[in-house]
Structure 1
């Protein structure tokens, strides 16, 4: 049975030109909100032309190291770049959620990186710090979608937990649409951990195939 959630309302809408390092550019309507349950400053980027079809939506968790500094330890930056273009083409919304490090925060994420350098995987590192493997809750995302009038969507994700949480919150996920696989020698162990531990729907090369 879907969980009942409090209503959020739109606070501001502003159009912002976006430009990525590879030259791709577009314009998004950036939306802020009142009444989000976690009190965080999440954003919705409305992209493309509205249509009568089911919108394409991605819930992208903030990753300062990947999104801003281009860190190759994860696939967050390439996924964000891919998502903006695909949503712009299909029409839909990118929810940029302030959930650094799967919800543990920036400093803790960097502490977890140090433990990963010592041999732990991304989930083991969080647990070793006394933190959850993944503390993300998507109630605020469901509020944002409701405030934007989105009750049914195609979800751009490889993470089955995202689709399940939205469904539990009363959002109709018509289809889970996979993102591309952005594997490099630097992030392959990280991606394998996501595929093996939390059943992300990604097909990966072996851990040694990109080493050379």
Structure 2
């Protein structure tokens, strides 16, 4: 059973001007340092809070890589939660769970013509090795059992439901198209069944 370990106020967002709270947890998978970022209270109509599970993407979140849309999805979520409140679960599972170095190897294979899923498979990994059990534990530790989930990914929906989290609404992110990521987005739609409109 997970519990909140520490919490601290800080400011986030593209201009570091959005007030939020950063939380760490005990009781998660050993070696995993997932965190939650909590934005102001949700709308006064008592709707379930907005929640996004965002898997760490060093290349996209930090370096704004042309190969994905992760950084843009993160920024979109932060701006949405600044207005509406919510909980951002930042999960340390790089490269759909294969790790940073393997993701760089997958990038090389993508440069040679494989899509993002084919590249992972070629390296001996499944399509998506991420596990969202810790996300459910984090929500339970926050006494959140009913949510409005921000995602395009059916795996996230199914995994949370399987862990007993009730999802009252699914809110898709925008399609963040830029030079270099169109094939990646098309693969997410065709292979990963993501709900994206290009």
Which deviates more, 180-189 or 108-117? 180-189
- Residue 180 of structure 2 is matched in structure 1 by 186
Correspondence for 1:61 = 55
Distance 1:123 1:96 in 2: 22
1:162 is aligned to 156
Q: CA deviation at 1:19?
A: 3.9
What is the distance in 2 between the residues matched to 1:39 and 1:154? 28
Segments of structure 2 that go 5 or more residues without pairing to the other structure are: none
Count residues in correspondence. 196
Secondary structure of the equivalent of 2:29? coil
Matches within 5 A, 1:22-41: 23=15, 25-41=17-33
User: SS in structure 2 opposite 1:174?
Assistant: strand
Partner of 1:200: 194
- Alignment root-mean-square deviation, CA: 1.1
TM-score between both structures, scaled by the size of structure 2: 0.96
User: CA contact under 8 A between 1:72 and 1:184: conserved in structure 2?
Assistant: yes
Give the deviation of 1:38 after TM superposition.
4.7
Say yes or no: does 1:111 pair with 2:105.
Answer: yes
Give the superposition deviation at 1:28.
1.2
Structure 1, gaps ≥5 residues long: 1-6, 205-212
Spell out, residue by residue over 1:77-136, the C-alpha distance to the aligned partner (whole angstroms, 9 max, x if none).
Answer: 000000011122111100000010000000000000000000000000001011121100
TM-score normalized by the length of structure 1 = 0.90
1:49 aligns with 2:41: yes
8 Å contact from structure 2 (residues 13, 79) kept in 1: no
- State the distance in 2 between where 1:154 and 1:31 align: 20
